[in-house]
């Protein structure tokens, strides 16, 4: 991202280059094509920037508030909803990420809390039906590295995603 895209805030949020381990295989298969195509706008950036605005710590340079505009709550909500749009199918592919992400979206919807995935899981343990506690605990322990990657029951995962999406949407 570049400074002119961050202050004043604009939506959708433009970016000059994006890389993550999710995109690693695309990069390996065709590095030049990947570099040429990985720019544009990304609705999910509003969620990342909101978390950074609330929890980020400056290592060097100006304060976060001097560099980044606040993200309007409606834009943050849209980013959260965008990120969970395919949760019913995604949860069986990436159960830890989707389970914890759904918890943090529920926490924002119900309580206005802006949480990390881990914080969302902790909120889920305290506020969601006890039925989901084993799933959320396993997701949190796997996410933190305290538990090796485990096999999750697909029907439990799908039921959890269905419950969360019905509540959220």
Please report, for the chain, the start and end positions of each structural domain, with discontinuous segments joined by +. Answer: 1-71, 84-169
Q: What would the pLDDT profile of 101-141 be if each residue is shown by its tens digit? A: 999 999 999 999 999 999 999 999 999 999 999 999 999 99
CA dihedral 23, 28, 29, 32 (to 10 degrees): 90
Write the burial class of residue 69 (CB in 10 Å: 0-12 exposed, 13-18 middle, 19+ buried): middle
**pTM summary value:** 0.86
147 pLDDT exceeds 80? no
Q: What pLDDT does residue 76 have? A: 96
Q: What pLDDT does residue 101 have? A: 97
Q: How much is the mean pLDDT over the chain?
A: 92
Q: Mean of the pLDDT values across residues 43-65?
A: 93
Q: What pLDDT does residue 83 have? A: 93
Cα-based distances in Å from 41 to 5, 15, 38, 80, 138: 10, 6, 9, 16, 34
- Token pair, residue 1, equals 């991202």
Q: What pLDDT does residue 4 have? A: 81
99 pLDDT exceeds 90? yes
């Amino acid at each position: 991202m570049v400074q002119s895209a961050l202050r004043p805030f604009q939506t959708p949020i433009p970016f000059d280059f994006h890389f993550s381990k999710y995109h690693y295989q695309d990069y390996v298969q065709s590095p030049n094509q990947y570099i040429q195509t990985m720019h544009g706008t990304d609705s999910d950036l509003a969620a990342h920037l909101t978390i950074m605005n609330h929890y980020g710590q400056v290592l060097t340079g100006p304060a976060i508030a001097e560099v980044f505009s606040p993200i309007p709550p409606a834009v943050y909500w849209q980013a959260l909803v965008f990120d969970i749009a395919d949760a019913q199918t995604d949860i069986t592919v990436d159960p830890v990420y989707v389970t914890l992400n759904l918890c943090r979206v529920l926490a924002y919807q119900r309580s206005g809390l802006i949480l990390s995935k881990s914080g969302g899981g902790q909120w889920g343990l305290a506020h969601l039906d006890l039925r989901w506690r084993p799933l959320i605990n396993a997701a949190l322990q796997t996410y933190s590295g305290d538990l090796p990657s485990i096999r999750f029951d697909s029907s439990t995962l799908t039921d959890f995603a269905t419950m969360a999406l019905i509540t959220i949407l």
